[in-house]
Amino acid sequence: MLLRFRGALLSGVRGYNYRLFSVSRSALSPKKGLVLGVYEKEKGNNGISFTEAAASFDRSVSGKLTEMMSISGPSLKKGKSRIFYGLHQDVPSVAVVGLGKKGAGVCGKENWDDCKENIRAAVSAGCRQLQDLEVQQVEVDPCGDGQSAAEGAVLGLFEYDELKSKKKVRVATQLYGSADTEAWEKGVLYGEGQNLARRLMEAPANHITPTAFAEAIEQKLSPFSDRVVIHKRPQAWIEQEQMGAFLSVSKGSEEPPVFLELHYTGNPDSSQAPLMLVGKGITFDSGGISLKPSSGMDAMRADMGGAATVCSAIVTAAALKLPVNIIGLAPLCENMPSGKANKPGDVVRAKNGKTIQVDNTDAEGRLILADALCYAHSFKPKAIVNAATLTGAMDVALGSAATGVFTNSDWLWEKLHKASVVTGDRVWRMPLFQHYTKQVTECALADLNNIGKYSRSGGACTAAAFLREFVTADHWAHLDIAGVMTNKDEVPYLRKGMSGRPTRTLVEFATVLASGS
């Protein structure tokens, strides 16, 4: 069947008379697509400011793209996209995306690079619009930063529908043109790393048990067996290591605990002290005897977000072949109510011998991290960074704008902050005052209490103060990622759901360390 079109088919535009031509319906089947960038118009310049790749495409179609843009309405705003059809016989669908102002850079007020964020958001919007048209292959304009463009494409197209019968069209993306190939490939790995964390966090708790989590990471690291050693430590080993705080949380569940230990050797120099990444791995958090409200409890399948981001960062570091040594630790278990579970008021003993009064069994993440942090010191690391969906108070304090960082090291803070400006996945420094330490050390029955004596005040800060009691390293940072665990519409290049943040910031931080900068 033949359809008659007025020029190149243009979404949202009526009454435009362009030369008439006829094409078959099959010829316009939107299987391939192209995403091209355009900048905001500058004052005094009425012309259209295309990226280098978009300008090249426009020349290849004799200026048709310029013509279409000119009649399609107002200047394209940042993060918005517009679809054009039939401009080129090999590319039935072209999405033009708004990149904002040309020459944008690091914004001190926002603590990120505006240019990179604009590219991620714009490319994501274009790719999604083409996906909705059931386009299966999309070429993407690097927009001056191939890594950011790749991240926007890979992150924007992710959706967890593995357990649904009807799935979204799978879209394969590739770089348009030959420039920025290395940067594009790096961005793809960064995006895929974060998507791995999102996939683990989204999966139901009956699919991702402690054992299943460890096996999933083992499978992802199997291609890098020449550089990665994996230890899935069983309960007997945990008992042998006298990790009483970790065991006290796990004993309420029928699922056995696993202490996952990953060694990535990117630098053969054995004298190089490793970077230590530690992640909270509660694969489901009911709250234990201090039971959580049922509303929203399903989201606690992602309470292993710390372990997911840390392990995904190591998978990405291995794929990038970063010349740095990293050790990852993930204490994995469930926090469930049962006749064996911790009871409020119980006292348990951590690996370093300190006793802990457990007044709230829903403050369990700090218990498993306490033992993991003690164990981390045995490797004499260069720095220890732990990540955990630790406190609702962190969400109250910062929301989803940034990960809260508590650290005893200005050097470590500067490195993490520098990394987050590049990724756009921001961090914000929080206080580690003695004011908070006193609230967890003044305890009736033990050396420490697992909650502050003013439980509703400064909850994220007292949790960090608790963890500090198990740290002797000069460079340690605790990342409370509870506020960034999920995404609604705050980050435009992530769909609604588990965010996988701050995986890319951890990878970039490792990259910064590897470069020595």
Sign of CA dihedral 450, 443, 456, 502: negative
CB 310 within 8 A of CB 328: yes
CB 20 within 8 A of CB 4: yes
- The region, left, alpha or beta by phi > 0 then psi within -120 to 50, assigned to residue 195 is alpha
Q: What is the DSSP letter of 191?
A: H
Residue 292 falls in the annotated catalytic set: yes
Nearest-CA neighbor of 356 among 466, 473, 479, 253?
466
Residue of 199, 366, 415, 504 with catalytic role: 366
Residue of 101, 292, 382, 429 with catalytic role: 292
Cα 488 to Cα 498: distance, rounded to the nearest angstrom: 9
* CB environment 21-37: b (16+ within 10 A), e (fewer): eebeeeeeebebbbbbb
Residue 366 falls in the annotated catalytic set: yes
Cα 474 to Cα 480: distance, rounded to the nearest angstrom: 19
Around 427, how many Cα atoms within 13 Å sit in the side-chain half-sphere?
A: 29
Number of other residues whose CB lies within 10 A of the CB of residue 46: 8
What is the residue whose two structure tokens read 């107002």?
A: 74
Long-range contacts: 50-57, Cβ < 8 Å, 24+?
51/99, 51/141, 51/142, 51/143, 51/144, 52/144, 52/179, 53/141, 53/142, 53/143, 53/176, 53/177, 53/179, 54/96, 54/141, 56/177, 57/88, 57/94, 57/176
Cα 360 to Cα 451: distance, rounded to the nearest angstrom: 7
Number of other residues whose CB lies within 10 A of the CB of residue 7: 19
Catalytic residue ranges: 292, 366
